[in-house]
Each structure stands twice: as C-alpha cells, then as structure tokens.
Amino acid sequence: MLEPQCPGVVDRYIDLSGFYDREGLQPLKQNILDAFAEYQGHYKRVYRCLGAAGELRRDMNELLATPAVQQKLAKRAAGIISRELKKPGSGGAQPQQRFLSAVTHKGAVALWETVEAQADRIYELSDSYGLAHHLLNPILTAALAAGHRAVACPDPMAPDRLAHLIFPNLSLAFVTSTPEQPWPHRAYRRLRLDAMVDGDAYRAAKPRLRFTRRVAAALLEEGVAGLSQAKEAHDRLERLYNPYVDFDKVAQAADQVADTLLALGRS
C-alpha cells in the first residue's frame, strides 16, 4: 500500500478492493486470519536466521580482512583501475543498485546470465571470506569519478557490502564466486582473493572460522526452510482468496492504467 503524495495532481489511487466478493469471503475469515498469521510468523523466523547468518559471515570477514589484507586488495584494485578504466565515460555519477543474487525458498540463487548479457570481460573473484567488497569499492569509486555507468550489486546477506559490479558500456563485470555460489563459466580473469589472507592470522582463527562457517550454513539452511514454509502459507492464502476475486475486472483496471501511462508517454 503506497499513499500518494499529491493525489489527483501527481499521483492517483488505484483501489482494487472493489474486486473482492466480500460476502463470499466472510465464512473463510478465520482460515484467512490463521494462514496470514502463519505466513508472518515464518517470515519473522526467516529474518532472524538470515540476520544471524549475516552477522556470523561479517565476523568471519573481520577476522581476516586485516589492514594489511585491505592494503593488498586496494593495490590490486589500483592495477585493475589503471588497466580497465583508462578512457573517460559519459555516464552519471550515481550507480544503479540491483540485487544479482538472493536467498529464496529454493536456496541461494544468482542470475549469472544477467552478467553475461551485459559483459564480455568478466573477472571472477574467488572469495570464501567476504573480501571482495574491499576490492570492488575502490573500483566503483574510480569508475564513477571517470564518468562510467555502473550497476552495483549488493550482497543480499549484507546489503551495505558490494558483491558484484557491472559496467555495461565497457562490457566489463566483476563477480564474486563463493563455494556456495561459484561462477559457472570460464572467466576473462580469475583472482583468488583467499590467497591474500595472512597465513598466520588464518591459522590462528581456523577453529573459529570452521565453527562460524558451519553455524552460518545451518542458519542459512534454516532460513531457506522458513521461506519454503512461508511460500506454502502464502499459496494457501491465494487458494482461499482466488475464487472470490473478479480477475477480469482486475485485468480491465490494469489495461486502463497502461493506456493512461502510454498516453502520457506520447504527449
């Protein structure tokens, strides 16, 4: 539900509630309320599980992304910038933000074909510990300063951190390849970010890292199971509602809105 800022002047209301058979739905009231409460309950658990998994992954990153490692990544980023961003662009200063990957009821999903459709040169960043953000962030900053159009793809488990970058005008992309979601094709170049981790720091943190990875994976699995249960509850809601919705009138309303928008585009 979105409230128009200036109804009748800039925005308008589109009321779909008139297409329900209210009288027909009344005998199903308790079933609908129960299914909706179950649906919401599953999502609360999903958010807790995925939030906890994300925090554990952040903890793993903080263990290994020492200042020395970040310096190595910055140096590697500088080399990429000098090689790939030589020519100035003519794009805007703000990146487009798009999620390329997500956690769904079917598990973790990445739309790798979206990258292939926009880039011929694809850098694969092999990364087990969340280091890619420290490489991608300076590349994005430099690209925007040079006027290149960028699509910045956050990590769905940590939306404040970059997971992938696409520069459509340069036919260039950077994808984070993890053990859970590996890049499935041959890359233009492959960078092993794990190799930049300090060996002593890794050995000291190895038991903690093993525990963190195992628990984070279990929480992610529990979150996926919760999403599957939430989908089942939502499907049950739809089965209850669908016989009492006039979908022909819904389609007519959609056509009217589409005609209005097309007319605006022609004016």
Per-residue pLDDT tens for 240-263?
999 999 999 999 999 998 998 898
Encoding tokens for residue 159? 């939306």
Q: Quick: pLDDT tens for 41-68.
A: 999 999 999 999 999 999 999 999 999 9
Give yes or no for a contact between 98 and 151, defined as CB atoms under 8 angstroms apart: yes
Q: Is the pLDDT of residue 175 over 90?
A: yes
Reported residue count of the chain is 267
Q: Please give the model's pTM, rounded to 2 decimal places.
A: 0.84
| Residue at token pair 């590996």 | 182
CA gap 83, 87 in Å, rounded: 10
How do residues 188-219 score in pLDDT, each as one tens digit?
999 999 999 999 989 999 999 999 999 999 99
Side-chain-side CA neighbours of 52 within 13 Å: the count stands at 16
pLDDT of the residue at 8: 76
